[in-house]
Amino acid sequence: MKFIINADDFGISHKVNKAIYNSAKEGYISSGTLMAVAPYIEEAIEMTKEFEEMSFGIHLVFDSDFSSLSGVPENFSSNGVVNIKGLNFTKRDILVDEFSKQIEKLQNLGLRISHIDTHHHIHLYPLVLSAVLQVAKKYNIKKIRSQKLLIKKSLVHDTYRYLHHQFTKSRGFMQPTAYTDFPTLIELGIDHLDEEGIYEIMCHPGSRYNDEAYFNDAFYGMHRDKLINFNQLNS
């Protein structure tokens, strides 16, 4: 089995940027995703230049207190323009336009985007997923965060996430076998995992989640040789 350890929210603050930078320097993460609309994005971009062995993707945003790049009024959490949990696909072009501008901003800043994920996992919703897959095709981004979880919750919940994963795969996108976080992985253990699987561990260095507590030899001492990044994801 292989693990991709991805740090989310790169660019959101100087504190988070520094924590991600230090985690990368110490070899605790293998990947990161950057927020084009975040206030410290230029600093984050500069930091990525030291880590050619890592993958860096985009952390698309449409549901938080950040300003739109495409002119959506106010901010994403209060604009009332798009109900991202709904099924009004006539609104998809608004999402496509915003996501396109976020991708183009990172590309113009010099980032080679390895993969896509979304802030608060909003591509779990069909409307957002449709827009994400459209812009991914448009910009030739072929890898995306899976929405399959390691932990089982309910038949309906697990079935929906399985179908989401299979649909994304059927559209030609590569994604890890499943994703999780450090607390869940440690609680469940790895004995039941597929030996051929690739599992993304999502983390948030510098945040209230205190993921740095898991950056120790309890995990890395045994599994550091299993770390890969999204550039190495080939199936």
pLDDT in tens, 183-213: 999 999 998 899 999 999 999 999 999 999 9
Q: What is the pTM of this model?
A: 0.96
pLDDT in tens, 12-21: 999 999 999 9
CATH architecture of 2-232: Alpha-Beta Barrel (3.20)
pLDDT of residue 218: 86
What's 211's DSSP letter?
A: G
Higher local confidence (pLDDT), 188 or 32:
32
Number of continuous H segments (helices) and E segments (strands) in the chain: 7, 6
Query: Coil, helix or strand for 227?
Result: strand
pLDDT of residue 59: 98
Residues pairing with 60 in the sheet:
118
Distance of CA 19 to the CA centre of its chain: 17
Query: Coil, helix or strand for 210?
Result: coil
pLDDT in tens, 127-168: 999 999 999 999 999 999 999 999 888 999 999 999 999 999
